[in-house]
Amino acid sequence: MLALEAQRQIAALRESIARHDRAYYLLDAPEISDASYDGLMLQLRSLEQQFPQLITADSPTQRVSGGVAEGFETIAHEVPMLSLANAFSEADVAAFDRRVRDSLTASQQDLLPAELTYSAELKFDGLAVSLRYEEGQFVRAVTRGDGSAGEDVSANVRTMRAVPLRLNAIGELPESLEVRGEVLMFREDFQRLNARQRAQGEREFVNPRNAAAGSLRQLDCAVTAQRPLRFFAYGIGAVDAKTEGRLPASQFALLEWLVALGLPVGAVRARLQGPRALLSFWQDALARRPQLPYDIDGVVYKLDHRPWQEALGWVARSPRWAIAHKFPAEEALSEVLDIEVQVGRTGALTPVAKLRPTFVGGVTVANASLHNEDEVRRKDIQIGDIVVVRRAGDVIPEVVRVLVEQRPRTARAFSMPTACPVCGSAVAREPEGAVLRCLGGLFCGAQRRQALWHFAQRRAMGIEGLGEKIIDQLVERAWVRTPADLYQLSATQLAPLFRAKNPAEDSRAAHKLVAAIAASRRVRLERFVFALGIRHVGEEIARVLASYFGDLDPMMEADWSALAARKQAVQKENQRRRTRGEALEPVPLEGVGSEILASLQLFFAQEHNRAVIRALRAAGVHWERLPATAPDGLELLSTTDDAPLADAGTMQARPWEGKTVVITGRLESLTREEASEQIRNGGGKVASSVSARTDFVLAGAEAGSKLERALALGVTVIDEAEFLRRIANGYD
């Protein structure tokens, strides 16, 4: 390359880096990812190494990036705040160790140890500041700025609870001490801040680092005081001569001294010997990175012996005795080639960006979750956009933001489908939610595994032996498409799925499973309703529905909108009666809210779901009809022949009919769940707290406050023996 062409490229790179420095450090609105920025710096440094005559004092490689924002007083650093050179590979770390050893060998007379000792720390992704203390009292805070001078943010830092206004008195306090460290924001705090910004219609921050920088640079310190900023110290700057002579000779011990003074220091740090130990620390930090409460973008290695640090000195931009070992980029640029919709195990429809493959977070990423339609709209993501993609550790990649200024004319907007892309069933948006869901729960192939597991579980149809491994194989072989197909399986067909040590054991397990499936054909209505997997319908709601309707057919044909209106009217009338001291009218489907009613309406409106229910009935699944509590005039009982209504002679005795029971303490012969089931079978309701409306309290051993409240209210208390006697005799 000719020098003239190199000069042109160097000038363009310097101009680009300066523009991005301003966007990142001053405006808190980065235009490119950290990885792309590092790439520009590497290009510039490579060209300057080839053409050293073109290096100038104002080159980004010769100074610390940054500047002073308007509105703050400029304060010169007594000791410059330099940045660190970067290492990106194992070879870079080995080369750093070799350079340090070679430089010490040339400058020191003492024999060096076989392995040099380093202090290793996490590299926080925040804003560097210098805190000045005089006689232990906080007096000033200055940002790094351009390394020589920074912004006076003393008033803002003074509002941060993480920064002590007075140091602990451990011996004689320094006359003057500059503490260098990082201001940052924890991830959870960042999410809460952005949620608040959204709710107030204000601009959201891109990431925790920019949120911290923007919060620290507020001209009104009252705003900073409301922001959850943290601080971690990692070193010192200027210090008075008397204190300098008393400072620890070890970098690691210096951090311990800062802790003793009452300053927060990152807990993840270590003294290590040799490059192998440094790499092990880096790998451990990379592995624990997703679990940390804050963002880090690498680790820092510092020669531990501080007198040797002084001997090695600095280059124009960074100290010779320290280096930052960066992690693989967590952010990168990519292009949205398309947006597809995936259907999850619970029926949630999730838009997924199909990306031009890009290397980020140590892996090649081709897909990124867009979460939901509202998120696509909020971020204004279109097909064809250039986007910033983030991946932290093992977290699913996501699109952080769109580079709208680079949007092509061919970009096109995305709309969510109106039908499930897997099964064609209708989709519906959750009330007051952002998620669209497929309504073909019993039929949809994407939901098949989840639907079968839920259907078979103990509290639903109770098919013992039908676990996830068997279900996975049944679905993979396409032997079971809906729960009704379970009742067509044979032991011969199932035996190879168990994969035990010998065929005889497989055969026994298969016959046992077939028997369990057959036994599940007769089931209580509430358990069958729960087994259908209707969204928001848990066990208790299923019991309420079974008691109200008495059978499945009236439930399937119910006018849910009319029920919701009637429920609301009764509740309103009861408010009027309550003020007059009149008797209250029973609330229909008490405890079943509008969201559940809407879910039931959507579920039973799907022909796919109704077809599966018909197939289950055809397979012999049936239940005992119950005496319904729905109002007169509503046809409740089915006239189908598969489950004849039990007569008075065969009807189960219901000793707890209409009673509310609270269980407390430890029972001897029954589990809490078994006792609850006995009460519900006997027509009663199990409550979690004692009130004046409680009819009985079943008190076991070591009963506590619930028993005390029952005695205070005069509620009847029975022990376990009396409970079992009432069940056996069938009276209350």
Q: What is the pLDDT of residues 409-428, one digit of tens each?
A: 999 999 999 999 988 888 88
pTM (2 d.p.)? 0.49
Contacts of 709 (CB under 8 A, 6+ apart): 690
Cα separation, 14 vs 60, in Å, equals 7
Cα separation, 156 vs 224, in Å, equals 6
Report residue 327 as tokens. 């992690």
What pLDDT, on a 0 to 100 scale, did the predictor assign at position 340? 94
Over the stretch 282-299, which tens digit does the pLDDT of each residue have? Answer: 999 998 988 899 989 899
- Burial (Cβ within 10 Å: 0-12, 13-18, ≥19) of residue 534: buried
Cα separation, 529 vs 542, in Å, equals 6
CB 182 within 8 A of CB 141: no
CB 489 within 8 A of CB 482: no
Cα separation, 180 vs 255, in Å, equals 11
Taking the CB of residue 5, how many other CB atoms lie within 10 A of it? 10
In the block, which residue shows the tokens 């001897």? 668
Give the CATH superfamily of 330-456.
Answer: Nucleic acid-binding proteins (2.40.50.140)
DSSP 122: E
Cα separation, 598 vs 426, in Å, equals 14
Class of domain 660-729: alpha beta
Three-state secondary structure call for residue 581:
coil
- Burial (Cβ within 10 Å: 0-12, 13-18, ≥19) of residue 504: exposed
Cα 392 to chain center, whole Å?
12
Task: Give 690's Cβ-side CA count (13 Å radius).
Answer: 22
Cα 72 to chain center, whole Å?
37
At residue 382's C-alpha, the angle toward residues 211 and 355, to 5°, is 85
Helices (H), 273-354: 274-288, 306-312
Per-residue H/E/C for 595-651: HHHHHHHHHHHCHHHHHHHHHHHHCCCECCCCCCCCCCCCCCCCCCCCCCCCCCCCC
Cα separation, 395 vs 397, in Å, equals 6
Task: For domain 86-326, give the CATH number.
Answer: 3.30.470.30
What kind and span of H or E run contains 156? helix 154-157
Cα separation, 385 vs 714, in Å, equals 70
CB 179 within 8 A of CB 78: no
At residue 390's C-alpha, the angle toward residues 386 and 392, to 5°, is 170
Report residue 138 as tokens. 């906080």
Report residue 540 as tokens. 């208790």
Contacts of 398 (CB under 8 A, 6+ apart): 368, 369, 370, 371, 389, 390, 391
**469 assigned to active site:** no
Report residue 504 as tokens. 């005889």
What kind and span of H or E run contains 241? helix 241-244
Cα separation, 215 vs 194, in Å, equals 12
Cα separation, 646 vs 624, in Å, equals 7
In this prediction, the residues of the chain whose per-residue pLDDT falls under 50 are 25-26, 393-394, 632-653, 731-732
Interior/surface letters 278-299, b for 16+ CB within 10 angstroms, e for the rest: bbebbeebbeebeebebbbbbb
CB 175 within 8 A of CB 210: no
In the block, which residue shows the tokens 């195990």? 345
DSSP 23: I
Q: Please state the domain extents for the chain.
A: 3-62, 86-326, 330-456, 660-729
Q: Which of 249, 404, 398 is nearest to 330 (CA)?
A: 398
Which of the following is catalytic: 123, 302, 567, 706?
123
Per-residue H/E/C for 375-438: HHHHHCCCECCEEEEECCCCCCCEEEEECHHHCCCCCECCCCCCECCCCCCEEEECCCCCCEEE
Cα separation, 315 vs 302, in Å, equals 15
Cα separation, 113 vs 562, in Å, equals 85
Report residue 440 as tokens. 């073909």
CATH architecture of 3-62: Orthogonal Bundle (1.10)
Distances in Å between the Cα of 444 and the Cα atoms of 114, 531, 567, 597, 612 are 65, 16, 32, 22, 11
CB 320 within 8 A of CB 312: yes
Q: Which of 706, 700, 659 is nearest to 679 (CA)?
A: 659
Cα separation, 493 vs 480, in Å, equals 12
